[in-house]
Structure 1
Amino acid sequence: MDDKDLKDFSNKVREVLDVSERETDRMFLKSSLIAFAFVLLIFIAPSFFPKDKVVVTQEVILKPYSDEEVLTSLGINALGVVVKEINSLAPLLEREGDKQWPVASLTKIMSSLIATENFGLGTYVPISTEAVLTEGVSGNFRSGESFTVEDLVKSMMVVSSNDGAFALYEYGEREEFTAKMNLKAESLGMSKTSFSDPTGLSYLNVSTPNDLQKLVQYVYSKQPFIFDISREKAVIIHDNTTGTSRALENINSFSGVDNFLGGKTGYTDEAGQNLLSLFSHNNRTFMIIVFGSEDRFNETQRLYDWLVSYL
């Protein structure tokens, strides 16, 4: 190899080394940016969650089947359905999870939450004539009686008392009470939910299955006694004015069942039959939501039986 060839060879080696060095620098820069982004995600991302939102962390479930095929095979005619583990990211089954629907007395889950967090369970609330005249007689309340917030929550969650809900609405300054219901929904990220009254009688009380599950997650985590009450076959409430007590028999067909952890019924002509149910299975908690059903308890039972067989 003469001097010219040697010089050309040396130049090519230097070019290769320069390219390799630049590529190494680019790889180092890329790795550094990825590491920085990961650290940013860990420390900054939590601030973007809604204030009261219950953060869920489980992995997304990959399913080899169509939800609609399964629901059809089970004979589920409800217009909205969600079946999922209480704090999982993804549902096991879903139908029209983001479609707004009148929630009827499922509203009383939020009413119970607002009363509990704002008034205190031991606070006495008077029963007015207007409250007694609210549609429905569940709870057998009489004008002039006085019950604790806890007892009125019992009446809402066990017999779906509209009188009890209205009494709390009056005690909470009426529109101020519903404003707090809507603010709570907003803080939980329930973007398709709106409340106009505390009972659910109005068709303007709307939500979606996916929004409702956010409320259920929060209540189950922060105020679990609300669902604990709803699983009892019967509860006792005490009138402070007369000193008398009475029993309220649960209208939920699942009450008293060992693996039933609580829930809420709802019905109006516009909504049809709505039902939220919590069940335990293998030390895990699952929720089943059906909107617009014509046979809510049987459909929920079939969904639970499928859940057990699937898991």
Structure 2
Amino acid sequence: MRNYFKIISVTLIIFLLSSNVALANPSKANNKLVIDARAAIAMDKETGVVLYEKNSRELIPMASTTKIMTSLIAINNGNIDEKVTISKKSAAIHGSTVGYKEGEEITIRELLYGLMFKSGNDAAVAIAEGVGGSIEGFLKLMNEYALQIGLRDTHFETPHGLDSENHYTTAYDLALLTTKAKNNEIFNEIVGSKVIDPEKYNFTRGYNNINKLLYQVPEATGVKTGYTGNAGKCLVSSFDVNGHEIVVVTLNCIERWRESKKIFEYVKDHYNYETIAQENQVIDKITLEDNKGEIELLCKENIVIPKKADSKYEVEVVKAENNLPKVISKDMILGHLSIKQDDKVICKVNLYSNTDNNRENLIDKIKNKISSSRK
């Protein structure tokens, strides 16, 4: 990796990324992407950087793309090899179904394939009842987790996505949810597969994935279709771009397959990935008062960002130099990298102390001991 970290000032910009970086197809750098969808977005899976967006913060129904959250909650909260008995409510649900019969016993793992391959509303109800104890209990888990991961404009009223007044999301939130889900190995195995034979996990039946992009685009890696009268045709998809994964969302999009593929090709043609920092790299340091030493600031992960040819990038080191605690422990957050594209922050990464440091004097120690004894 090239050494970009030449310090210019204590807390401000540490480098500018050059504007003459070669792109995969620089002749297309000024092309404007026009997408025929009510809302759409492309997001880098690792950094959350937005690569394209159209009305991505608009509240909108999301149909069966809801099932991305349903599957993730089931994986995170249930024993997926536990069997669930199909209830009358599950067997009677309308819309797209697998065709489970009341009284059948199906593992949650198999229900997940029915959910994500066949968009089974019966699978969604069975999962909700099996994992949450009831649909209402499962919805509580869905909405709590949505807030936990930062989905600020999302609310779930069903586990399947059939039209309901207060069931909505945004393209941005749906992409963010999917980046979280794609970090789960079980989820990835399911949504990236085309066919599952019953023998593999001792299922009651085999399943074929209805996601056409898996068959049409070699770089496609998932994720979920959706359709209702209010939501229109929806699609969340993911693609491999030179070893890096992106998530694409198109909502209320008649030509969802074509438009999602168009967004993928736009990203592939207009972005290159470049390493900004490496795992365990020392980025900067803080000099302590009264010659009490220095604290190195460590980046704990590989930072690789997608870069566009006609944009200007800069990275700023922000350090917590004022009001530092007198006792600094290793791995304490003492700053962050702020990555900007055209003066807009697109990514922040925490920086950590690389060592312990104790600058307490005797009086400080006595005060702290007295304070602790009073608690």
Deviations 1:138-168 (A, max 9, x none): 3221111111111111111111000000011
Match of 1:187 among 124, 131, 148: 148
What is residue 45 of structure 2 aligned with on the other side? 86
Q: Among the aligned pairs, what percent are the same residue?
A: 29
* CA positional deviation for 1:237: 4.7
- Contact residue 163 and residue 230 of structure 2 kept, 8 A: no
What is residue 114 of structure 1 aligned with on the other side? 73
- Contact residue 83 and residue 93 of structure 1 kept, 8 A: yes
Q: How does 1:124-203 map to 2 (within 5 A)?
A: 124-136=83-95, 138-171=97-130, 172=132, 173-203=134-164
Secondary structure of residue in 2 paired with 1:154: helix
What is residue 185 of structure 2 aligned with on the other side? 224
* CA positional deviation for 1:137: 5.1
- Contact residue 228 and residue 261 of structure 1 kept, 8 A: no
- Contact residue 132 and residue 143 of structure 1 kept, 8 A: yes
What is residue 7 of structure 1 aligned with on the other side? none
Match of 1:286 among 223, 229, 246: 246
Secondary structure of residue in 2 paired with 1:207: coil
* CA positional deviation for 1:218: 1.3
**Aligned equivalents of 2:48, 2:109: Cα separation in 1:** 32
Q: Does 1:303 align with 2:263?
A: yes
Secondary structure of residue in 2 paired with 1:294: coil
* CA positional deviation for 1:246: 1.6
Secondary structure of residue in 1 paired with 2:207: strand
**Aligned equivalents of 1:205, 1:232: Cα separation in 2:** 28
TM-score (norm 2): 0.61
Match of 2:228 among 268, 276, 297: 268
- When structure 1 is superposed on structure 2, of 99-108 and 112-121 the one drifting more is 112-121
Q: Does 1:206 align with 2:168?
A: yes
Question: Whose strand fraction is larger, Structure 1's or Structure 2's?
Answer: 2
Q: State the aligned residue count.
A: 246
TM-score (norm 1): 0.73
Question: Whose helix fraction is larger, Structure 1's or Structure 2's?
Answer: 1
What is residue 36 of structure 2 aligned with on the other side? 77
- Contact residue 151 and residue 237 of structure 1 kept, 8 A: no
**Aligned equivalents of 1:192, 1:285: Cα separation in 2:** 24
Deviations 1:229-259 (A, max 9, x none): 1222222358x9xx87322221110124532
AA partner of residue 110 (structure 1): M
**Aligned equivalents of 1:224, 1:100: Cα separation in 2:** 30
Match of 1:247 among 206, 216, 240: 206
Deviations 1:181-228 (A, max 9, x none): 00000001111000011010033321111111221121112x232132
**Aligned equivalents of 2:218, 2:203: Cα separation in 1:** 31
Structure 2 gaps, min length 5: 1-8, 20-30, 272-375
Larger radius of gyration, structure 1 or 2? 1
**Aligned equivalents of 1:252, 1:201: Cα separation in 2:** 19
- Contact residue 237 and residue 245 of structure 1 kept, 8 A: yes
